[in-house]
Structure 1
Amino acid sequence: MKLIVYNVRDDEIPFVEKWGRDHQIEVTTTTTTLNTETAAEAAGFDGVSCLQTIPYSKELFAALQRLGIHYLALRNVGTDNIDIQAAKANNVQITNVPAYSPESIAEFAVMMALYLSRKVGYMQQQLQEQHEFHFSPAFMGRLISEQTVGVIGTGRIGRHAIQLFRGLGANVIAYDKYPQKVAGGAFKYVDHLEDIFKQSDIISLHMPATADNFHLFDHEVFEEMKPNAILINTARGTIVNTNDLIFALESGEIAAAGIDTLEDESIDLQDSRSTKKITDADLIKLSMMPNVILTPHSAFHTTESVKNMVNISLNNLKTMAEGGKPADLVD
């Protein structure tokens, strides 16, 4: 058996190599992004592992079919960038990693909420732009315990975020299209998203991207939110209309935003070896705002996450190549 790992980062390589040694399987790594041109690198391999948020197109699956490759194991959760029907039509089975470390993303969301609630960005701006370093009444923040946190999406990540926010004393409300039983009064579900928009001081997003929630957060929603509200997005960039978010932040419709996922994420954003400078006007504008914390899709990035993403992905490939049915099959 031979496997190939696309889009490999330096931090993943030790885990890939260890997995290969432990299972006595040949695993080749490449930094290449998987697309119709680079699929040829997979010729002669039994399966492909990949990590990218750019599209997996029908043309790509046709190319994999021609190469005789029928197994694609993602190292991430999201499948909104995959043409599932094209994969099926070309007899390519797909797996994902539905839970590599919910704690990692949940902790990052809470970190962003703390950073923005305590106005650390304004302190950094004073130091970096004005070259001053002193106390200011303008830096007065708010305790998490005096705020209502609205969590949208109560899967593994959302539930862990709720646990952490509750640990800090927050009043937590939540919305999910498919609500679960709530034990111990940790939070309460609301019936409508509008309740989250209107009642929350902090809104933390933890749902997948779907056609129904494309640009869910737009100008109308920002107008419904509290003027002191903080939006945290560690889910998917398409859920938030970037232009409307910028207007809401500049006009005072909302107070702050923590943004780890962006619309139209480029290959360069995912390339840890890239040295290209930022040219996107929206990114530049957001990066200069003291009421914004902007990170390059890094909420997941802990040693535990990387290890699990690699191991679960390669385990899934091994199972499929041996004729088995992995638990993480995407249908």
Structure 2
Amino acid sequence: MDTIFFNTKVYDQQFFTECNKQYNHQIRFLEVPLNEGTAPLAKGSRAICVFVNDVVNSTVLHQLAEEGIELVALRCAGFNNVDLKAAAELGIKVVRVPAYSPYAVAEHTLALILTLNRKTHRAYNRVREGNFALNGLIGFDLHGRTVGLIGLGKIGVVTARILKGFGCKVLGFDIQQDREAQEAGVEFTDLDTLYAASDIISLHCPLTPKTHHLINEESIGKMKDGVMLINTSRGAIIDTKAVIKGLKSEKISYLGLDVYEEEGDLFFEDLSNKVIKDDVFMRLLSFNNVLITGHQAFLTRDALQSIARVTLQNITDFEQGRALVNQVLP
């Protein structure tokens, strides 16, 4: 089936091209993101494929409908950038990749925790400059520490298992108390208890109206002094300005982010020769106890293969009139 892929990078093209040998769809890769200005490029196709920061609002969906688009295939788990109600009204189906590799994101979460704690990024730069001093590199044992996980889906459960392997006590909060999480050793509790008891708090919940700015001045005030805060889920779960206040007051002693509330104009692009005009983001970078990666937690060979396979199967199921097991409904 004719499908336009928006906002693609070299790795997208590599893994989708290889996987498509099994599916034989007619794919055209575009590097430009989907928005109101680029939506007309979908003309002549039945489906489009987009990523987390593409704009799929009501206006864009109306444009896509006019161009004959019947399917929006998300090559990601999140769908908060899609106006699902407008899509349904226009008869456009929306599918996603609900679980590609929970290990990829969970392991990146631990990479952020370990790097912030043991300051390996700072040690690496020191050693390359011939500086072998250890001042300022003191960390703490993860063993025996309490970690609070907000969101116990597949990624949260894998993260819990890894943390239990380190000897951590793992507290969890979710709207559902999953049996698999309990079997992994998670002790479910309420948010206030989790905030107060956790040395490390890691976010693994989807972005919804209820989780938007879940981490704010009030919730930060309930946390332990010197807490480590990690976010590999969605940027807008954190109120960034509130977190900056927490860093300045030293309430938050470590911050690890793979996502950022206003990442759409920054992440996935090389801006090294440009002036970054986001003052809030630049303020975050000024703290030596903040570690930011550019939404790369998903970026493993295993995850990219899984994303390509599930996305192309979603498109095939639509083309052949099968049930869309990964359809997202309003």
Return the letter of the residue paired with 1:166.
K
Instruction: Find out whether 1:56 has 2:56 as its counterpart.
Output: yes
Structure 2 CA distance for partners of 1:280 and 1:23, relative to 1, 3 Å:
same
The equivalent residue for 2:283 is 285
Partner deviation per Cα, 1:173-220 (whole Å, 9 max, x = no partner): 101011112554612111x10111100000010000111121111122
How far 1:272 sits from its partner (Å)? 5.7
Question: Which is further off, 13-22 or 58-67?
Answer: 13-22
Alignment of 1:132-151 (within 5 A): 133-151=131-149
Structure 2 CA distance for partners of 1:194 and 1:285, relative to 1, 3 Å:
same
Alignment of 1:191-230 (within 5 A): 192-230=190-228
The equivalent residue for 1:271 is 269
Structure 1: tracts of 5 or more residues without a match: none
Instruction: Find out whether 1:233 has 2:235 as its counterpart.
Output: no
Contact 2:34 2:55 in 1 (8 A): no
Return the letter of the residue paired with 2:32.
T
Among candidates 256, 262, 272, match of residue 254 of structure 2: 256
Structure 2 CA distance for partners of 1:225 and 1:168, relative to 1, 3 Å:
same
The equivalent residue for 2:20 is 20
How far 1:117 sits from its partner (Å)? 1.8
* Secondary structure of the structure 2 residue equivalent to 1:252: coil
CA RMSD of aligned residues (A): 2.0
Q: Using the alignment, how far apart are the partners of 1:207 and 1:281 within structure 2?
A: 27
The equivalent residue for 1:92 is 92
TM-score (norm 1): 0.93
TM-score (norm 2): 0.93
Q: Using the alignment, how far apart are the partners of 2:268 and 2:31 within structure 1?
A: 11
Partner deviation per Cα, 1:60-102 (whole Å, 9 max, x = no partner): 1111111111111000011112111000111110001010111
Q: Using the alignment, how far apart are the partners of 2:282 and 2:127 within structure 1?
A: 19
Q: Using the alignment, how far apart are the partners of 1:2 and 1:184 within structure 2?
A: 44
The equivalent residue for 1:294 is 292
Instruction: Find out whether 1:311 has 2:313 as its counterpart.
Output: no
The equivalent residue for 1:187 is 186
The equivalent residue for 1:107 is 107
Q: Using the alignment, how far apart are the partners of 2:237 and 2:269 within structure 1?
A: 23
Structure 2 CA distance for partners of 1:135 and 1:273, relative to 1, 3 Å:
closer
How far 1:228 sits from its partner (Å)? 2.1
Return the letter of the residue paired with 1:299.
A
Partner deviation per Cα, 1:288-317 (whole Å, 9 max, x = no partner): 322111111111111111122122112111
Question: Which is further off, 117-126 or 101-110?
Answer: 117-126
Return the letter of the residue paired with 2:319.
A
How far 1:52 sits from its partner (Å)? 3.0
Contact 2:34 2:54 in 1 (8 A): no
Partner deviation per Cα, 1:121-173 (whole Å, 9 max, x = no partner): 55468679xx6723335322111113101011000000000011111111111
The equivalent residue for 2:65 is 65
Contact 2:52 2:78 in 1 (8 A): no
* Secondary structure of the structure 2 residue equivalent to 1:13: helix
* Secondary structure of the structure 1 residue equivalent to 2:171: strand
Contact 2:259 2:294 in 1 (8 A): yes
Q: Using the alignment, how far apart are the partners of 1:196 and 1:183 within structure 2?
A: 16
Q: How many residues align?
A: 328
The equivalent residue for 1:167 is 165
Return the letter of the residue paired with 1:103.
Y
Contact 1:145 1:169 in 2 (8 A): yes
Contact 1:155 1:206 in 2 (8 A): yes
Return the letter of the residue paired with 1:93.
K
Contact 1:152 1:176 in 2 (8 A): yes
Percent of aligned pairs sharing the same letter: 28
Structure 2: tracts of 5 or more residues without a match: none
